[in-house]
A = this chain, B = another copy of it.
C-alpha cells in the first residue's frame, strides 16, 4: 500500500501548480527525460510510440495530397544559410556550429540545420530547369537543432523531432493554395487524431517565420488557459527562391521565378496532448494516438482459470487488430490500475472470477472512469465503439473548454480584466502596430496576438491600445 500511495501522490495537482503537474506527468508516464546534453531530450519508448502514431497518421495525410518524402543533409554550409537576409538574421543566434571534421579544422563552418529551406533551395537551384520539373512537393522527417536558452520537455528543446515540408510551384496562386492546404491537413489531424480543437489563421507581420511572406498557425488552448502554437504553414512568395536563383523556363519560353512554401509539425504536439487532455491522475491519451489502446488486467489472478481467460482475451483482442497489452505481473491490482491511469492508456479491461462466471468483462474508460459491462463474445466489437466514443467525447470536452475561454474586449480595462479572470483567448481589434501590441502585452502580463481573424466582422473600429483606426482583429492570448 505504501508504494501505491507514493505512485498516486507523485503527481502534483493540476490546478495547484500546472507547470509542476506537467513535469510530473512527463516523468511518471516515462515519456522523455533530459539527456547528458543540456537542453536535449531522450525520447523514451512511451513518448516515442506516440510520435510514431502521430507521424504515421500525418504522413498518410501528406501522401494523399501528393507529398513525396526525401532526406537532405543535417549540415548546412554557412554561406548557404546567409543567402537570404531575413532568414540568417532569424536563425544565426540559435544554431550550433561544426568547426572540425575528424582531425581537421574545416575551411567553412557548417551549422546543424535549424530548418532546411536553404538546403532545399540549393538543391532545386541546380535541378529545376523547366515547367516540367514543377511543382516539387517534398517533405522530410528528421530532427532539427536550435540553441534555446530555456527548455521544457516537448515544448521547447534544443533538438526536437518534426517534419518539414518544402514545396515550389510555377505560380503564386498554386503556392498560396498549397500553404492553406497543408494548414488544413494539420487542422484535420489535430481535430480527428489528437482530439484537440484550436483557433487558426495568419500570424501578424512581426510574428512570421524568418524570411516568409505569410505564416499560418494553429493555436490550441491548454488547460491552464495559455495558447500553444501547434503547427505552422509558411508562404514565401518568390523572394526566398529568388535569393537562391531558382528559375524555370515556362511553356512560353520565358525564364520565371518559382513560389515557395514550407510547413512543420513537431513533437511539441505531444506537449499539447498532455496539457489539453491530462488530469490529476496523469496522462490521458486520445485512443487514436495511444500506443496501447487497452490494458487487460486480471483480477484475483491467482484463482484458477483467471490468467488463462485473461490471456485468451488478450490474444483475441490482438487478433482483432487492437493495440493491446496485458499486465499479469505480480503487482497488486490497485498498483496496476494506477499505472494504466498514469500512462494514459484509454481503457482497461478488468476480468476476474465473477466476470468469468457471468461470461462478461468490465471495460473502464480512462477519461471519465465510466465502467461498462460487456458480454465476453461482444468485446472485440464493443471495445471499438467505446474507444471511438471516448475519442469524440474528449474532443467535445476540449471544444467546450475552448469555446468557454474565448472572449471579446473593446477597452483595455475589459482586456486586462478578462486575462485576470478567465484567461484563454480574447478577440480584440488593433491598428497593426507592433508597439501597441507590446503595450497590451505589458498591461495584460503577457497576452499578444496569436493569429488574425479575417473572416469575421470587426467588433470595434479602433485599436484597443491607441484608439487609431483598427486594421486587424486578432485572437490575443498568453502563450508557451
What is A's interface to B at a CB cutoff of 8 Å?
A: 35-37, 40-45, 48-49, 51-52, 68-77, 80, 93-103, 110, 112, 119, 122-123, 138, 142-143, 145, 147, 158-159, 161
Contact = CB atoms under 8 A, between A and B. Distances in A.
Given A75-B159, A97-B99, A147-B101, A123 B35 contact: yes
A37 B95 CA distance: 17
A147 to B, nearest CB: 4
Contact of A45 (B51, B112, B138): B138
A61 to B, nearest CB: 16
A42 B70 contact: yes
B101 A100 contact: no
A77 B76 CA distance: 21
Contacts of A100: 96-97, 99
A71 B161 contact: yes
Contacts of A147: 101-102
B93 A102 contact: yes
Contacts of A99: 97-100
Contacts of A36: 73, 76-77, 80, 119, 122-123
A59 B76 CA distance: 30
Given A100-B96, A112-B98, A35 B70 contact: no
Contacts of A110: 37, 96
Q: Top 7 A-B pairs ranked by shortest CB distance? A: A45-B68, A102-B147, A40-B73, A43-B71, A97-B100, A101-B147, A99-B99
A45 B74 contact: no
A153 B100 CA distance: 23
Copies in the complex: 2
Nearest to A79: B36
A74 B35 contact: no
B45 A72 contact: no
B76 A49 contact: no
Contacts of A122: 35-36
Given A36-B80, A74-B143, A74-B159, A69 B96 contact: no
A100 B138 CA distance: 31
Contact of A35 (B69, B73, B103): B73
Nearest to A158: B101
A181 to B, nearest CB: 19
Given A49-B69, A99-B100, 17 more contacts: A35-B122, A36-B77, A36-B80, A36-B123, A37-B110, A41-B73, A42-B119, A42-B123, A43-B72, A71-B161, A74-B159, A75-B96, A97-B101, A98-B112, A99-B99, A102-B147, A142-B143
Contacts of A74: 40, 74, 112, 143, 145, 159
A322 to B, nearest CB: 15
A136 to B, nearest CB: 9
25 contacts: A35-B119, A37-B73, A37-B77, A37-B110, A40-B73, A41-B73, A42-B72, A44-B70, A45-B68, A45-B69, A48-B68, A49-B68, A73-B159, A74-B143, A74-B159, A75-B145, A93-B103, A96-B98, A96-B100, A96-B102, A96-B110, A97-B101, A98-B98, A101-B147, A101-B158
A79 B123 CA distance: 37
Contacts of A98: 96-99, 112
Given A36-B80, A103-B93, A73 B119 contact: no
A77 B80 CA distance: 27
Contacts of A44: 70
A146 B123 CA distance: 22
Contacts of A35: 72-73, 119, 122-123
B97 A69 contact: no
A36 B80 CA distance: 9
Contacts of A102: 93-96, 147
A106 B404 CA distance: 47
B71 A48 contact: yes
Interface centre among A40, A48, A73 (most CB of B within 10 A): A73
A4 to B, nearest CB: 16
B97 A70 contact: no
A31 to B, nearest CB: 11
